[in-house]
Amino acid sequence: MHNSLAQIFDVTPVPDQKLPVVKTTDSSLESDAAAARDNLRSLMETAKIALENALNVAVQSESARTYEVVANLINTAADLNTKLLNTHQVQQKLTTEQPVTATQNNTTNNVSFNVTPSELAKLLKGNSL
């Protein structure tokens, strides 16, 4: 079972090729990231105002449901902060230079091997037919 697939199927392996580093300088990426950041900041400001108003209503009404709404708004505001940070991380990953290695992926579907089970066992054990 120490034989490689290339030896079993009598093919030559394709070596990995090193390609030059690719740097993304797409202006649409920068504008989309800026728009996403602006939208998140706007939503954060709206959530802050809504949270203050909902907290005032909860204090005045002393209703459990209004406190539940306040708790959900706090969770939403925290999620917006996390999304804003994730936006920065994604943009940094996309603009950072990373080496690209090309591997040739040849997908072959519907391959038929016409061998008996005993012949297949012999091939897997390394014996000849």
Q: What is the pLDDT of residues 64-119, one digit of tens each?
A: 898 898 899 999 989 988 998 888 888 888 777 666 666 667 777 776 767 788 88
- Which residues, at least 6 apart from 78, have a Cβ–Cβ distance to it below 8 Å? none
Nearest to 8 by CA among 104, 112, 129: 129
What are the sequence ranges of the domains in the chain?
Answer: 27-100
The residue among 117 and 49 whose pLDDT is bigger is 49
Q: Quote the pTM value.
A: 0.50
What is the fold, at CATH topology level, of the domain defined by 27-100?
Helix Hairpins (1.10.287)
